[in-house]
Amino acid sequence: AAVSVEPYRIKVVEPIPLTTREQREAAVRRVHYNLFDLRAEEVTIDLLTDSGTGALSAAQLAAGMAGDESYSGSRSFYRFHETITELTGYQHVLPVHQGRAAERVLFSTLLEPGRIVLSNTHFDTTRANVELSGAEARDLPCPEARNLDSTEPFKGNIDLEELSRTLSGPDGSRVAVVVMTITNNGGGGQPVSMDNLKRTAALCKQHGVPLFLDAARFAENAWLVTRHEAAYRNHTPRQVAEEAFRLADGCMMSAKKDGIVHIGGFIGLNDPELAQRCELLLIATEGFATYGGLAGRDLDMIAQGLTEVTDPGYLAERADIASHLAERVRAAGVDILEPPGLHALYLNAGRLFPHIPAHHYPGHALACQLYLEGGIRSAELGSLYMGEEDEHGNPVKAAPYELVRLALPRRVYTRSHYDHVGETLEKIVKRAESVRGYRIVEQSPILRHFRAKLQPV
Ligand code: F0G
């Protein structure tokens, strides 16, 4: 068997700040207990997102140095295009500056008021871009996704019965596109099986509705397929990925995740007429069709990253480090959304702090504790993000679960960094009953979690 260690060593390092408890207390007070407003220099281990936070390889940096910065027709674009066409089979490839730009360009071209988009789960910006086009975004997660503790391997699947019912029902003719998010970030980073994807593709074909992948984490999805889907046990992640892309009519991709770059993305598709219409909008709003808002060096680094990301050694190590952290978290006495995926762990803060009501944000309380105790930044995914209260702070709507996401940047932190996360959680669990919640003192009408000011209750 292959040796299970990091398939890379560290050539360039970047210092991270080590702060004192007093400094962290002063920092959270200054930002009104909103961790988005911290300066990154005040954070020791930043698990806010796995997006654009990965470490570049020497080969990516070298490719970037050789980037061709011509305004049009650069060598970098042709390498980017060829790499993506080989991986996906899509004939038309449009570069964009990040995933949400791909969403905006595709949806403003494809959608109009009255149309519907169906998905296993829309990511926030995907939903926002559907709604900005006047269309409706409907999530159809599979029933197993509702049970956080179930260890079913493919909780990212779409509900096929619901999909079939909707496509053949009265709303069927209004469905403009089906979007399959792999892995399902909004649904806890859970993967989609190839069987579910094939059945979805067949239903879409039967009803004449295009199927697009939101492929931000396609390689991680492919890895989990090779681990858990019997028919794919002898496939490489690359083979699974190639097949997945070919089941769909096109994709949107944020390359900031499985492209392992700091910025970039693309739309891939086969329909020449749709590609042409997207291209016009791209040129007007992102940049000429051979760079789409990116530098030539970015295109080269994406092309290189896309070939590295399906390496089985890399993916095995990524899965292993996520399981390592999951073990530490469970040992500390904190439940996670099971089973752990590759890009993030979702801590069950509601269960850890049963004494904190939803409108005092148990997830936010845990995120603040992680920072105060260990200098760790995470993201609340609970009632601060999805809930609602009246003007007196009384609960109107609570999130279904109170979670905290620990996202794992690619190739960045070592096991000892993650051990520190486990040790910090142990300390928090020991005095869990004394942890208090928060209330909002100032908020914006939409996306309140980014800018809200809070106070301990
Ligand atoms: N689709 C998925 C599944 C995503 O997770 C994201 C971003 C996007 C689209 C949008 O891509 O950021 O390049 O514009 N997710 C990040 C996260 C922000 O932290 O999960 P983008």
Question: Which pLDDT tens digit goes with each residue over 239-272?
Answer: 999 999 999 999 999 999 999 999 999 999 999 9
Q: What are the sequence ranges of the domains in the chain?
A: 21-50+311-456, 58-308
Label residue 47 by pLDDT band (50, 70, 90).
Answer: very high
Task: Please report, for residues 32, 90, 337, 360, 381, the alpha-carbon distance to residue 364 in angstroms, rounded to integers and kept in the order given.
Answer: 12, 42, 17, 8, 8
Residue 37 designated active-site? no
Label residue 3 by pLDDT band (50, 70, 90).
Answer: low
Answer yes or no: is pLDDT of 446 > 80: no
Instruction: Name the catalytic one among 256, 257, 359, 360.
Output: 257
Residue 123 designated active-site? yes
Q: What is the ipTM of this complex?
A: 0.99
Label residue 297 by pLDDT band (50, 70, 90).
Answer: very high
Among 50, 221, 256, 450, say which to mutate for ligand 1: greatest number of ligand atoms within 8 Å of CB. 256
Task: Assess whether the C-beta atom of 408 lies below 6 angstroms from ligand 1.
Answer: no
Atom of ligand 1 nearest to the CA of 102: 14
Query: Average of pLDDT values for 132-137?
Result: 97
Confidence (pTM): 0.97
CATH number of 21-50+311-456: 3.90.1150.10
Query: Average of pLDDT values for 186-202?
Result: 96
CATH class of the 58-308 domain in this structure: alpha beta
Answer yes or no: is pLDDT of 340 > 70: yes
Distance 341 CA to ligand 1 centre (A): 16
Answer yes or no: is pLDDT of 431 > 70: yes
pLDDT value at position 187? 87
pLDDT value at position 2? 59
Distance 49 CA to ligand 1 centre (A): 9
Among 48, 123, 213, 410, say which to mutate for ligand 1: greatest number of ligand atoms within 8 Å of CB. 123
Atom of ligand 1 nearest to the CA of 100: 14
Question: Which pLDDT tens digit goes with each residue over 301-326?
Answer: 999 999 999 999 999 999 999 999 99
pLDDT value at position 124? 92
Distance 48 CA to ligand 1 centre (A): 12
Instruction: Name the catalytic one among 26, 36, 71, 450.
Output: 71
